[in-house]
Amino acid sequence: MKYVYILQSLSNNERFYTGITDDLKARLSRHNSGEVTHTAKYGPWRVKTYIAFTDEDRASAFEKYLKSGSGRAFAKARL
């Protein structure tokens, strides 16, 4: 199972991070412990939303979409 997730910073509600993982709980822990350099500055984080995929290719495609301009707009309006 692959999870595409969106995190929201608890220190700055306007900061979001989109990623993909096999283990959402462990990945959130790494984000919050500062192990992920891209998110360390704005931690701690909470999971805003996540979507589980059984197909890895679809999960990767959806993550890529969410990181695009139209995907960010979609996430802001719908997720």
Nearest to 39 by CA among 52, 29, 48, 49: 29
pLDDT, one tens digit per residue, over 33-45 is 999 999 999 999 9
The pair of three-digit structure tokens given for residue 51, joined into one six-digit string? 């979507």
Domains contained in the chain, number: 1
Residue 48 belongs to domain spanning:
2-78
What pTM, to 2 d.p., does this model score? 0.94
Using the predicted structure, report yes or no on whether residue 79 has a pLDDT greater than 90. Answer: no
CATH number of the domain within which 20 lies: 3.40.1440.10
pLDDT, one tens digit per residue, over 47-65 is 999 999 999 999 999 999 9
* Beta bridge partners of residue 51, listed in sequence order: 4
